[in-house]
Amino acid sequence: MKVLITGANGQLGYALQKTSNVFADHYALELIALTRAELNLSQVGSIINVLDGFLPDVIINAAAYTAVDKAEIETELAKIINADAVKQIAIWCQTHNKTLIHVSTDFVFDGKKSSPYDITDETNPIGIYGKTKQQGEAFALSECETAYVVRTGWVYGEHGANFVKTILRLASERENLGIVSDQIGTPTYALHLAEMIWQLILQKPPQKIWHFSDAGVASWYDFSVAIVNEAHSFGILVRKPIIKPIATLDYPTPAQRPAFSVLSKTNTWSNLNVAPVHWQAALIKMLSALKQA
């Protein structure tokens, strides 16, 4: 089977390549991992020609415009990458009877719930990033009968830029950190998300929308404290700064973010042969890999 990954240099793109044995252990796999230079989703007119050149059986769209705050300014670019490009990929998959795995986000929800969001919950994004990702979801599902949408959030890994690496850098530079404590979600280790996507391709279930993150719940403050404590125990950090919880109102940003974006994964864990791993255990796994790199 020929599987094409967009955004090959991103966190998820890297993780998908690293975990491809999950699929290759069962079927012959030809992996085509395309960087932005090789498939630039902002150049919508070139997408069909690139896909025609490779003719993949499955496309995993791991590329996206993810700069949440910049999206409030670069509205059109975010829409092109997160929505218009997805429509073209979905149309190509429908035309050739191929499978599309489109990776989306917890930001399609408004954060007003106090219990985990289920796949049946109504989406209501509150920022441009979430709105363009919601549009991409709609295009994927409406234009391609064999499309899947995988929602996730708070993704991090040893490869690429992410919140964990930012906290490690700030912790090494500063004596004090103020971290938002009233935005609640669940961190997602990129390797675990990648393994789930490979399982989805292997099993091809009838359900079209899936949620995935690691287990448990955390605020950005909780996550930061765990990062610093575990990194210090690994010797990655030589000292620990003081971390203070702050309110979202104390850290204004151009984009509004959902206050609560925990996703319900019970369905995923039970139906895709994916065992839940608590986010703190996943963080330890990532930091161990980071130290050995």
Whole-angstrom Cα distance, residue 56 to residue 77?
26
SS (H, E, C) the chain: CEEEEECCCCHHHHHHHHCCHHHHCCCCCEEEEECCCCCCCCCHHHHHHHHHHHCCCEEEECCCCCCCCHHHCCHHHHHHHHHHHHHHHHHHHHHHCCEEEEEEEHHHCCCCCCCCECCCCCCCCCCHHHHHHHHHHHHHHHHCCCEEEEEECCEECCCCCCHHHHHHHHHHHCCEEEEECCCEECCEEHHHHHHHHHHHHHHCCCCCEEECCCECCEEHHHHHHHHHHHHHHHCCCCCCCEEEEECHHHCCCCCCCCCECCECCHHHHHHCCCCCCEHHHHHHHHHHHHHHC
Look at residues 53, 126, 50 and name the one whose alpha carbon lies nearest to residue 85: 50
**Which two structure tokens, joined as six digits, stand for 260?**
């609560």
Question: Catalytic residue among 117, 129, 189, 221, which?
Answer: 129
**Is 148 marked active-site?**
no
Query: Catalytic residue numbers?
Result: 129
